[in-house]
């Protein structure tokens, strides 16, 4: 199962889960908790993967040329796949 940060931000209702399960998952899946553990789990790349916890923050880091290059590569490699829909590329990623 693939779940993205964007998916988590869009979840409105978890009626089928017990309150304890929701709280336990929320405690472990909290961005700040994951960020603190990122270096332990991912090494030196951890802090790069877990920067701010804001959808679309990449726009503050990429130049226009980098954004266009990413769009072209994504279209070349992933355009017709389910991953494109799961990532909601046109909403969150396309420059």
pLDDT in tens, 1-57: 667 777 766 765 555 667 777 788 778 888 888 888 888 989 999 888 888 878 788
Q: What is the pTM of this model?
A: 0.51
Distance CA 70, CA 95 (A): 9
Please tell me the number of Cα atoms within 13 Å of 60 on its side-chain side: 6
12: helix, strand or coil: coil
């Amino acid at each position: 199962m693939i779940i993205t940060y964007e998916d988590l931000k869009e979840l409105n209702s978890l009626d089928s889960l017990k309150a304890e399960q929701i709280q336990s998952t929320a405690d472990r899946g909290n961005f700040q908790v994951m960020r603190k553990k990122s270096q332990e789990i991912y090494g030196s790349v951890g802090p790069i993967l877990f920067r701010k916890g804001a959808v679309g923050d990449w726009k503050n880091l990429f130049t226009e040329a980098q954004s266009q290059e990413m769009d072209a590569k994504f279209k070349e490699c992933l355009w017709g796949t389910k991953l494109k829909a799961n990532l909601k590329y046109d909403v969150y990623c396309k420059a």
